[in-house]
């Protein structure tokens, strides 16, 4: 993490017209989405495990991973919006990718609403696990298929070069991949703490 932050703020980056220093966002914005997808995938897997085996720990993991995924999603959206303000000229331009990620976040925020509206713990765990799996399967076409059907300003779409085309020279690659790994591990560790905290809290209460 330290390495990523140091390189993110201080390291040399290639300078391009329009993008300029904002290309540094690659170290923060893009890993957020990688992290979010991986954590939501993890949440769906733990939900499935809960449905099959009914262990409380699986439920706690699924819930914590989802919440951390939402946090990463919000951070990803904010970093993306700041970047968009300086390159596209507006915080929100209704770009398909922006819309899709906002809807994805709404889906998972609905998960937290669903969770909080059950008194019975077992029922809460069962229903929210089912919803989580459904939401993940709706998220996949939303994030990866629908934006490709329409034109987008987002790098990697509509004739715009993705980060691998020329933004990323050898040096940036050396920061980018560790950044993805570091952010994901950080999210995973935080969800682990959060899940264990919630399990302990439940045990004390009951």
Verify binding: residue 134, other proteins, rule CB under 8 A.
yes
Instruction: Please give the C-alpha separations between residue 189 and each of 38, 41, 196, 197, in angstroms, as whole numbers.
Output: 13, 15, 11, 12
Phi-psi region of 87 (alpha: psi -120 to 50; beta: other; left: phi over 0): alpha
Position among 2, 10, 18, 149 found at the interface with other proteins (CB under 8 A): 149
Of 27-35, 143-151, 159-167, 173-181: span binding other proteins (CB under 8 A): 143-151
CB of 66 to other proteins, least distance (A): 14
Verify binding: residue 17, other proteins, rule CB under 8 A.
no
Verify binding: residue 44, other proteins, rule CB under 8 A.
no
Position among 45, 74, 103, 199 found at the interface with other proteins (CB under 8 A): 103
CB of 199 to other proteins, least distance (A): 22
Verify binding: residue 34, other proteins, rule CB under 8 A.
no
Position among 20, 93, 117, 160 found at the interface with other proteins (CB under 8 A): 117
Position among 13, 36, 107, 179 found at the interface with other proteins (CB under 8 A): 107
CB of 45 to other proteins, least distance (A): 15
Position among 38, 142, 182, 195 found at the interface with other proteins (CB under 8 A): 142
8 Å CB contact between 28 and 180 = no
Verify binding: residue 130, other proteins, rule CB under 8 A.
yes
CB of 124 to other proteins, least distance (A): 9
Verify binding: residue 185, other proteins, rule CB under 8 A.
no
3-state secondary structure string across the chain: CHHHHHHHHHCCCCCCCCCHHHHHHHHCHHHHHHHHHHHHHHHHHHHHHHHHHCCHHHHHHHHHHHHHHHHHHHHHHHHHHHHHHHHCCCCCCCCHHHHHHHHHHHHHHHHHHHHHCCCCHHHHHHHHHHHHHHHHHHHHHHHHHHHHHCCCCCCCCCCCCCHHHHHCCHHHHHHHHHHHHHHHHHHHHHHHHHHHHHHHHHHHHC
Binding footprint of other proteins on the chain (CB under 8 A): 51, 103-104, 106-107, 110, 113-114, 117-119, 123, 126-127, 129-131, 133-135, 137-138, 141-142, 145-146, 149
């Amino acid at each position: 993490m330290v390495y990523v932050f140091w390189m993110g703020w201080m390291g040399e980056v290639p300078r391009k017209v329009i993008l300029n220093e904002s290309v540094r966002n690659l170290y923060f914005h893009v890993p957020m989405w990688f992290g979010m997808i991986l954590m939501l995938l993890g949440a769906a897997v733990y939900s499935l495990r809960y449905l099959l085996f009914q262990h409380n720990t699986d439920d706690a993991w699924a819930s914590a991973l989802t919440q951390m995924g939402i946090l990463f999603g919000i951070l990803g959206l904010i970093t993306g919006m700041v970047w968009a303000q300086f390159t596209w000229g507006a915080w929100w331009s209704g770009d398909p990718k922006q819309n899709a990620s906002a809807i994805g976040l709404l889906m998972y925020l609905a998960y937290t609403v669903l969770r909080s509206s059950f008194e019975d713990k077992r029922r809460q765990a069962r229903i929210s696990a089912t919803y989580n799996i459904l939401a993940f399967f709706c998220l996949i076409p939303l994030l990866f298929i629908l934006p490709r059907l329409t034109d987008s300003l987002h790098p990697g779409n509509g004739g715009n070069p993705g980060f691998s085309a020329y933004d990323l020279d050898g040096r940036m690659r050396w920061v980018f991949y560790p950044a993805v790994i570091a952010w994901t591990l950080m999210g995973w560790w935080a969800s682990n703490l959060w899940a264990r905290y919630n399990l302990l809290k439940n045990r004390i209460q009951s």
